[in-house]
Amino acid sequence: MDRADTMGDGQVRIVCLGLPDRSDLASRVAESSNLIGSEVEFAIELGQGEDVDQGSIDWRGSLSSANWLVVSSSCALGEKGIRGAWGASLAFSELEGSKTAMVVEVPSDSARMNEAWGAVIERIRQIGVLYLTNEAMVAISKIEKTESRELLDEIRKKGMVPLVCSFNPGDGVAEVSHPLGGGFFNVEGRFGEERWLAGFLWRLSTTGHGPSGIEFAARSENP
């Protein structure tokens, strides 16, 4: 069974590595996941600071039973400690069999978007689900010199990422690209990006990663 699918007890388990103040989208996704019933563990404590002692994080223990590692691209731009934790989390997620959901957003210093995207590209083969915010799509389209409407497919094909997605809360439309298809899906209900992605990951864990499961996860109102 794919680790991204639920364990025998039906529980979806998520480990999150985001910024210490939890201002990033990945952290908000984890908080929303907790609200809809997922079991969530934050790798670092709120307000701990970016000078993280990597030795204090038991990645193997945390990820051995996790369905998802949800991680922020902004961590790649942090201090040495959190940058190291970012890289270690991806490596251990791969080793332990959990799936990594990378959340890419424009950093607080937008001038560093190239740097953030470059860090993601270096690790792209370790990513199972790549989520781009609408602002990040605009920025990355310029970096990659690709039209926004073609961007997700191009990233998936070039990076060999199993699933690339985005959600526009303004019009309630999700865009998903995967090897067997994808497209644009009208979403039931109205909510923000963090709630959509939390529900999408939850649904993928319960319905599977086939085309029908992906479409159901993309369209459905969160649990």
pLDDT in tens, 45-80: 876 666 777 778 999 999 999 999 999 999 999 888
- The pLDDT of residue 9 is above 70: no
Residues 27-37 have pLDDT tens digits of 999 999 999 99
- Give the mean pLDDT of 41-46: 88
Residue with tokens 């030795």: 55
Residues 200-220 have pLDDT tens digits of 999 999 888 888 899 999 987
What is the number of other CB atoms lying within 10 angstroms of the CB of residue 8? 6
How far apart (Å, rounded) are the C-alpha atoms in residues 187 and 167? 9
- pTM: predicted TM-score of the whole model, two decimal places: 0.93
Residues 129-172 have pLDDT tens digits of 999 999 999 999 999 999 999 999 999 999 999 999 999 999 99
Predicted pLDDT at 36: 94
Write down how long the chain is.
Answer: 223
Nearest to 185 by CA among 167, 208, 209: 167
Predicted pLDDT at 223: 62
Nearest to 167 by CA among 113, 219, 207: 219
List domains and CATH numbers for the chain: 13-219 (3.40.1190.20)
